[in-house]
């Protein structure tokens, strides 16, 4: 393979990897605040893209308002989901919560299919379609948007977790819920915020990637799974690791398409997930945490 080809694969890998990173961020935010893995995370990404396209195409909103409006709406959906489906059984076993979030993802997917239709939809690129040349490879302007927004989000999140009260409260709650309660942190409110927040983050990922890959109601499943893989690779609970994990996964997946047939593309990411789970479940970018012994 020529260098320019490899570069092309890397660029497209970084682009799709950013979406995996956003999804992984969503997993991490909820996991950090609650210890729950939200199997519906991929659906938030899907809804972000699909609703934005709907706002733009059907309601004829200007692109900026369509995108922001979609993110806000998905955030509200996330909050409603938490209150209706998670909160009533918030102390239930891991399996029950897994099944509830799986049910949630099926519900969101089915609703999207009915309300927004089965056909893939697109958004226009944020700043034009003309590809830029970069050492023999072509970058779409949208890809630069995606990567730039990803990096900005990481910086913002880092500031949030380290310098704001709410962010610190979330970190405290993830370390030890009881202690957090004792210090006066409203843990159940935090759960609500974390679902809303992670839905918003997922929606951002969906919105920025839709101009490149079309949005369709069924895209949530695979994106969710790969986002989880990215979160594991980066170390579950580590926001920066999540994004890094996403980028790494995206690049590996993209390069593998060059080497093996593209039909196996999904299997490659999942294989990476399995390998990381088997060999180093703590991930590669985080510190190795010991496993808690539950009574």
Partner 1 sequence: MEIKAEGILKKYIPLAVFALVMIPLPFFISNYEAKILVFVGINAILAMGLCLLMGYAGQISLGHAAFYGIGAYASAILTTRYEMSVWLGFLAAITLSALVALLIGIPSLRLKGHYLAMATLGFGEIMYVFFVETDVLTNGPGGIVSIPPISLGRFTLITAQHYYYFVWGIAVLLLAVSINIIYSRVGRALRALHGSEIAAQAMGVNTAKYKIQVFVLSAVYAGIAGSLYAHFVNFINPSPFNLTFSIILVFIVVLGGTGRIWGALVGAFVLTLLPEYLRVFQEYNLIIYALILILVMIFMPQGLVPGIADLVGWIRFRGQQST
One of 79, 98, 125, 138 touching partner 1 (CB under 8 A): 98
CA distance 270 to 142: 27
Q: Does residue 264 touch partner 1 according to CB under 8 A?
A: yes
Radius of gyration (C-alpha) of the chain in whole angstroms: 19
Q: Does residue 60 touch partner 1 according to CB under 8 A?
A: no
Q: Does residue 124 touch partner 1 according to CB under 8 A?
A: no
Four-point Cα dihedral 4, 7, 8, 12, nearest 10: 180
Q: Does residue 293 touch partner 1 according to CB under 8 A?
A: yes
Q: Closer CB to partner 1, residue 15 or residue 105?
A: 105
Residue 265 beta carbon to partner 1: minimum distance, rounded to whole angstroms? 9
Q: Does residue 189 touch partner 1 according to CB under 8 A?
A: no
Q: Which residues contact 184 (CB under 8 A, 6 or more apart)?
A: none
Phi, psi of 290 (to 5 degrees): -70, 165
One of 183, 274, 280, 289 touching partner 1 (CB under 8 A): 274
Q: Does residue 286 touch partner 1 according to CB under 8 A?
A: no
Residue 98 beta carbon to partner 1: minimum distance, rounded to whole angstroms? 6
Q: Does residue 118 touch partner 1 according to CB under 8 A?
A: no
Residue 61 beta carbon to partner 1: minimum distance, rounded to whole angstroms? 27
Q: Does residue 159 touch partner 1 according to CB under 8 A?
A: no
- Residue 132 bridge partners (DSSP): 139
Residues near partner 1, by CB under 8 A: 37, 85, 88-89, 92, 94-96, 98-100, 102-104, 106-107, 109-111, 113-114, 221-222, 225, 228-229, 232, 261, 263-264, 266-267, 270-271, 273-274, 277-278, 281, 291, 293-295
């Amino acid at each position: 393979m020529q260098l320019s080809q490899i570069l092309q694969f890397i660029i497209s890998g970084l682009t799709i990897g950013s979406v995996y990173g956003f999804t992984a961020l969503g997993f991490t935010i909820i996991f950090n605040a609650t210890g729950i893995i939200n199997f519906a995370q991929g659906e938030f990404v899907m809804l972000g893209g699909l609703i934005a396209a709907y706002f733009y195409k059907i309601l004829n909103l200007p692109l900026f308002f369509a995108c922001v409006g979609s993110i806000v709406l998905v955030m509200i959906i996330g909050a409603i989901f938490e209150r209706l489906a998670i909160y009533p059984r918030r102390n239930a076993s891991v399996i029950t919560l897994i099944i509830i979030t799986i049910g949630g993802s099926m519900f969101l997917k089915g609703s999207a299919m009915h309300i927004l239709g089965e056909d893939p939809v697109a958004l226009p690129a944020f700043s034009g379609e003309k590809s830029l040349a970069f050492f023999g490879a072509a970058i779409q302007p949208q890809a630069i948007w995606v990567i730039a927004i990803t990096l900005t989000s990481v910086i913002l999140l880092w500031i949030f977790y380290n310098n704001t009260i709410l962010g610190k409260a979330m970190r405290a709650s993830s370390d030890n819920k009881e202690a957090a309660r004792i210090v006066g942190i409203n843990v159940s409110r935090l759960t609500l915020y974390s679902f809303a927040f992670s839905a918003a983050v997922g929606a951002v990922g969906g919105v920025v990637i839709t101009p490149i890959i079309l949005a369709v109601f069924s895209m949530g499943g695979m994106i969710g799974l790969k986002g989880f893989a990215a979160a594991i690779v980066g170390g579950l609970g580590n926001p920066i690791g999540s994004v890094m994990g996403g980028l790494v996964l995206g690049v590996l997946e993209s390069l593998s398409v060059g080497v093996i047939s593209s039909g196996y593309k999904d299997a490659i990411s999942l294989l990476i997930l399995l390998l990381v789970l088997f060999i180093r479940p703590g991930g590669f970018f985080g510190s190795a945490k010991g496993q808690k012994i539950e009574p």
